[in-house]
Amino acid sequence: MRLDRLPTLRINPSETCTLHYNGKTSAGVAGDTVATALYANGVRVFGRSLKYHRPRGLYSLDGECSNTCMAVDGIPNVRAENTPAKNGMHIDAQNVQGSADFDWMGFMDKLDWLMPAGFYYRTLHKPACLWPFALKQVRKVAGLGKISPDFKMKGRYAEIYPTADVCVIGGGAAGMSAALAAAEGGLRVILLEARPWLGGSFDYRVSPYDGEKALYQRARELAAQVEAAANIRVFKHAANVGLYNNNLVTAFQVGPEGGAFDERYIEIRAASVVVATGCIERPLLFENNERPGVMQVGCAHRLARTYGLLPGRRAVFSIGHDLGLEAAVDLCDLGMEIACVADIREDGQNPDLLLALAEREIPLLRGWVAAKAYGAKQVKKVTLRTLEGSVKRQLECDLLVASAGRTPLTGPLTLAQARLRFDAHTGYFLPADLPAKMHAAGSLTGRNHPLAIEASGRLAGLKAAADCGANTAEAVAAAAARLSQLPGPERGTKLVMAPVKGRKSFICFDEDTTVKNIKQAIDMGFDVPELIKRFTSAGTGPGQGGIPGHNLPLFAARYQALAGATPVPTTARVPLVPTLLATYAGAHHDMCKRTPLDELQKRDGGVFRRIGVWQRARYFSEDFSCREEVLNVRNNVGMLDGSTLGKFRLHGPDALKALQRVYVGNMVKLTPGKIKYSAMCNEDGCVIDDGVVVKIAENDYYFTTSTVRAGETAEWFRYHTRYDGWDYHIVNFTDALGVINVSGPNARKVLQKVADADLSNEAFPFGGYREFVIQGGIPVRAMRLGFVGELSYELHAPASYMVCLWQILAAAGKEFGIRNFGVEAQNVLRMEKCHIILGVESEQRTNLLDLGLGFLWDRHKTETKTVGTVALRQVEADPARLRLVGIEMDDPRRAPRDGSILVDKRIRGYVCTARRSFTLERSVGMALVEAEMAALGTRLEIYEDECNGQKLAARVVPMPFYDPQGNRMRM
């Protein structure tokens, strides 16, 4: 039965939904959370605790602990208490063997004496053979939720990156006041609220705001103003999860049912931030303080006022704050029997509330506290005691509303590096200093009076506007003056725990950490809260610091009072609210680059691989040895898409100086029409790139880099000339130009058919560079290179012409047997020719000389300060380096797998690339080997993976293996 006529309700009792739980269907109403729907259906035990399998029930409604973490539609650890109920949801209790009500692991609760703080560290390892078995059991009992390894997440996830002048975190009265104040001058304001509605702690309360209105009416009034303001963007149901330097705020928002997204990640950059997150309640520490039926004041009150559910029939209150008295009065008026209210405070209560209690004949015990709750699965009885423990009284009840006081939600502040200081007056950790452009407002600051909450919000909002350059000085002064006339922070309760030993007083519900465990940890030398956390796990469960965050440091300080300890807050960490990976991933999708010839190659059966940012065709058949592709290049002609090659123009008065700085070769010697192969080293002389350079005109050069270096080449040039102030420009043509490599003895015949230039060996010799036009329309830059060891033309053309060029060449080459070859065939071809690929024939520490490329280095251009040459000079005489050598296997049919190592008693090197060569009918490769073993003819032993000590025999042979004179590429 719902209280369906309350003006404060956030449900719509006329719209129902059906949930499936524990083999039954439960009816909920629109606006219910999963937990409130189940509660309405009589569910009191929602799950079992981690270690002791204690029954756990509804304790708060904001998800500070794992009590109501349930599996919803296969998703584990869903906070039932603030997850909207949706029709057809399947709900399961967690950490139960059987059901939540009848869990046969419940006996664990009796074994707590076996599991003191840190018991894992001190047991299960003796004898050593015990541990592997124990480990399996430990894994099984640990963990809360269950998920299948092939679980597939459904739903839509989005992400947005709004910017704002002011971001206000918290949509209560303070936050709304701050947003309205900040927005007055027209600034762009964002307001984040975790609940699906604005209103905060005013939302469900009928206490008077002023003479005319109740608090909930005031909240709705403010909400209407906020929603009406054009320059305030409100994100409701959006929990703040992170706050970073420079006021970067992150949050995730739950989408409305049937909306465009299920959840979305929000990343906000704001000039100024107001934190008005308010307070949660500080759990009361007593025996069985987490028994189902024990709940916090706000939980009991909101169940009734927001969800229309009377949380029990007969309640005992043990509280330390006026909100407890207010709830007792209101719940009494709504029809609940209040057996007694025990207030920790001896005095200081609001006289109006005292009067209200008296009018309703609710007994009030001042200076009393709950000491123990009874009842196996639900509270049946409670013992109250005076604070020093001398007098006790027992009362029967089915609800124990328990709360020690309030705790400010300072998480966002500490994430932003605000320092917290313990304030003895309020009993809160309050910010001692706030970072620039950050403000705190509302009950978070200890204010409790409704007008003061709003006034502090307004002041913070105006200050935030000032951070954005608004001229609010006068308004700030007025708001500050107003706030100073309103009631200041109220005195808070000092009590940390009831006068009990604490064996079953839980300081952290999620990890089943008791007061006794904390004492044990401190006794063992874990004396600061962060260490206690690590040793006892308190505060490291699904709810993080929500439940123990305040009590742990307070209790630790009290227990060590003689050592002069002061309370030190524990560290808050991102995400402040646990957040789905799906939500963080948002609308993530793969981004890669495809060459202009991608579609054509796919049509031709290309097998693609991701190389860096690119997708490239690696094979053109299922035969990954590429025999046909290789032999066709050797015998006829092949065509390779080389568009991923880095391509650059370098021009300007100081272009030559820049080239001289980064290339080891001497670029003064460049002449138009000829290409120069050269390399770049890093400061250690290690080779980082190779490619060709062409002089196009005076002070105008064109050069290529390897695929992986294309993205960094411009940076590299500028980095190494950053102190020089040279005047040159570097333009990256990598995406603008495509490349087709036509290689093989028939290459000239193919190209001559379509080119408007003389391609004879005399007119365009090996090592030459020409510009001409293909079929009267496609301008190409052509280079005669020999990477694969055959007559070869590398054609660079605008990307938009590439498809056309490819088709022209394919048609022209048909009679000569042209076909595609891929990256792996190229790899084999160039290996036979002993042309290196950096990163394959080199490791990080391989220098120019190690690779036998010393001939590229012009040693006489010292004035150019060429990058890497100092190191090369210093290391030239070092005999103890790895050198690149050619190797030939004794067995011509068996090449070692790449990455195999060369060994004798120790490792002497490794195989970079080796293949059984179809062209040569030998098995050959290249290896990096210690210099003393690099001499021709040296016998090598190759150790492959899984070889069981059976090594392969090889010897060092001259390079290259194929066409050593280089005649074929000069044809």
Partner 1 sequence: MALTITCPVCGKRNGYEFRYGGEDKGPRPVEEGMTPRSWCDYVHMNACVAGVQKEWWCHKNGCGAWFTIHRNTLTNLEVEGVEVTS
Partner 2 sequence: MFRRFKPLWGKKPGLKSTYDAVIIGGGLHSLATAYYLAKEQGMSNVAILEKNFIGFGGAGRNTAIVRANQRTQENVPLYKEALDLWPILTKELDYNLMFNNCGNLNLMHSEAAMNAARMNVCTAQFHGVESHLLDPRQIKELEPAINISPDITYPIHGAMFHPPGGVIRHDAVVWGLAKGAAAHGVHIHQQTEATAIHTDGGKITGVETHRGRINSPRVLVSAGGYSAGIINKMMGVKLPISVLTIQAMVTQPLKPVLHHVVSSGMYHAYANQTLKGEIATGAHMDQWPNYTTLTTAHYIKHQAEALSEFLPFLRGVKFMRHWAGLADMTPDMAPIMDGNDPVEGFYMNCGWGYFGFKSCTAAGRHMASFIAKGECPERLKPFGLRRYENHRLMGETAALVTYTPDN
For partner 1, which is the closer residue by CB, 486 or 708? 708
| Under 8 Å between Cβ of 207 and 304 | no
Secondary structure of 725-772 in HEC code, one letter for each residue: CCCCEEEECCCCEEEEEEECCCHHHHHHHHECCCCCCCCCCCCEEEEE
Least separation in angstroms between residue 400's CB and partner 2 is 28
Q: Which of partner 2, partner 1, none does residue 897 bind (CB under 5 to 8 Å by kind)? A: partner 2
Task: Choose one: 111-119, 483-491, 646-654, 667-675; the region binding partner 2 (CB under 8 A).
Answer: 111-119
Retrieve residue 950's tokens. Answer: 């059976």
Edge-to-edge, what's the strand order for the sheet holding 607-611?
593-594, 614-619, 607-611
| Under 8 Å between Cβ of 865 and 900 | no
Query: Could you write out the DSSP letters of every residue in 272-306?
Result: EEEE---EEEEPPBSBTTTSTTEE-HHHHHHHHHT
Task: Choose one: 351-359, 813-821, 866-874, 906-914; the region binding partner 1 (CB under 8 A).
Answer: 866-874
By rule CB under 8 A, what count of residues binds partner 2? 115
| Under 8 Å between Cβ of 468 and 165 | yes
Q: Which of partner 2, partner 1, none does residue 770 bind (CB under 5 to 8 Å by kind)? A: none
- Residue length, the chain? 971
For partner 1, which is the closer residue by CB, 243 or 420? 243
For partner 2, which is the closer residue by CB, 112 or 221? 112
Please state, in angstroms and rounded to a whole number, the distance separating the CA atoms of residues 295 and 289: 9
Q: Which of 160, 334, 486, 871 binds partner 1 (CB under 8 A)?
A: 871
- Cα 114 from chain centroid? 38
Least separation in angstroms between residue 57's CB and partner 2 is 20
Closest alpha carbon to 860 in 668, 720, 666? 666
Q: Is 910 helix (H, G, I), strand (E, B) or coil?
A: strand
Q: Is 684 in the site for partner 1 (CB under 8 A)?
A: yes
For partner 2, which is the closer residue by CB, 844 or 965? 844
Q: Is 221 in the site for partner 1 (CB under 8 A)?
A: no
Q: Which of partner 2, partner 1, none does residue 60 bind (CB under 5 to 8 Å by kind)? A: none
Q: Is 571 in the site for partner 1 (CB under 8 A)?
A: no
Retrieve residue 866's tokens. Answer: 């060429």
Q: Is 542 in the site for partner 2 (CB under 8 A)?
A: yes
| Integer Rg of the chain from CA | 38
Q: Is 67 in the site for partner 2 (CB under 8 A)?
A: no
Q: Is 719 in the site for partner 1 (CB under 8 A)?
A: yes
Q: Is 952 helix (H, G, I), strand (E, B) or coil?
A: strand
Q: Which of 534, 558, 627, 753 binds partner 2 (CB under 8 A)?
A: 534
The DSSP output letter for 713 is H
By rule CB under 8 A, what count of residues binds partner 1? 23
Retrieve residue 366's tokens. Answer: 């001042």
| Under 8 Å between Cβ of 197 and 204 | no
CA 627 vs CA 164, 466, 634, 792, 818: distances in Å: 61, 73, 11, 19, 15
Q: Which of partner 1, partner 2, none does residue 366 bind (CB under 5 to 8 Å by kind)? A: none
Q: Which 389-448 positions form the footprint of partner 1 (CB under 8 A)? A: 417
Please state, in angstroms and rounded to a whole number, the distance separating the CA atoms of residues 774 and 791: 19
Please state, in angstroms and rounded to a whole number, the distance separating the CA atoms of residues 154 and 166: 34
Q: Which of partner 1, partner 2, none does residue 310 bind (CB under 5 to 8 Å by kind)? A: none
Q: Which of partner 1, partner 2, none does residue 869 bind (CB under 5 to 8 Å by kind)? A: partner 1
Q: Which of partner 1, partner 2, none does residue 824 bind (CB under 5 to 8 Å by kind)? A: partner 2
CA 679 vs CA 706, 792, 874: distances in Å: 11, 21, 19
Q: Which 257-286 positions form the footprint of partner 1 (CB under 8 A)? A: 267
- Cα 595 from chain centroid? 31
Question: ∠ CA 202-208-212 to the nearest 5 degrees?
Answer: 115
Q: Which of 7, 98, 143, 259 binds partner 2 (CB under 8 A)?
A: 143
Please state, in angstroms and rounded to a whole number, the distance separating the CA atoms of residues 700 and 667: 12
Which residue matches tokens 């809160």?
428
Q: Is 138 in the site for partner 2 (CB under 8 A)?
A: yes
Q: How many CB atoms lie within 10 A of CB 967?
A: 10
Q: Which of 683, 698, 727, 890 binds partner 1 (CB under 8 A)?
A: 683
Q: Which of partner 1, partner 2, none does residue 144 bind (CB under 5 to 8 Å by kind)? A: partner 2
Task: Choose one: 129-137, 390-398, 641-649, 811-819; the region binding partner 2 (CB under 8 A).
Answer: 129-137
Q: Is 838 in the site for partner 2 (CB under 8 A)?
A: yes
For partner 1, which is the closer residue by CB, 137 or 874? 874
Least separation in angstroms between residue 834's CB and partner 2 is 18
Q: Is 876 in the site for partner 1 (CB under 8 A)?
A: no
Q: Build a one-symbol-per-residue string for 455-474: x at contacts with partner 1 by CB under 8 A, - elsewhere.
A: --------------------
The DSSP output letter for 896 is P
Q: Is 714 in the site for partner 1 (CB under 8 A)?
A: yes
Which residue matches tokens 């950096």?
838
Q: Is 671 in the site for partner 1 (CB under 8 A)?
A: no
Q: Which of 2, 609, 657, 865 binds partner 2 (CB under 8 A)?
A: 609
Least separation in angstroms between residue 460's CB and partner 1 is 21
Retrieve residue 210's tokens. Answer: 């002023």
Retrieve residue 672's tokens. Answer: 């138009």
Q: Which of 87, 471, 566, 874 binds partner 1 (CB under 8 A)?
A: 874
Q: Is 622 in the site for partner 2 (CB under 8 A)?
A: no
Q: Build a one-symbol-per-residue string for 186-225: x at contacts with partner 2 by CB under 8 A, - elsewhere.
A: ----------------------------------------
Q: Is 879 in the site for partner 2 (CB under 8 A)?
A: no
Task: Choose one: 132-140, 403-411, 472-480, 639-647; the region binding partner 2 (CB under 8 A).
Answer: 132-140
Q: Which of 754, 903, 920, 957 binds partner 2 (CB under 8 A)?
A: 903
Q: Which of 102, 121, 227, 503 binds partner 2 (CB under 8 A)?
A: 121
Q: Is 160 in the site for partner 1 (CB under 8 A)?
A: no
Question: ∠ CA 881-882-886 to the nearest 5 degrees?
Answer: 145
HSE-CB for 216 with a 13 A CA cutoff: 14
Q: Is 244 in the site for partner 1 (CB under 8 A)?
A: yes
Closest alpha carbon to 567 in 282, 185, 851? 282
Closest alpha carbon to 50 in 147, 146, 144, 145? 144
**Which residues partner with 193 through β-bridges?**
none
Q: Is 869 in the site for partner 1 (CB under 8 A)?
A: yes
Report the interface residues with partner 1, using CB under 8 A. 244-246, 248, 267, 417, 683-684, 714-715, 718-720, 722-724, 862, 865, 869-871, 873-874
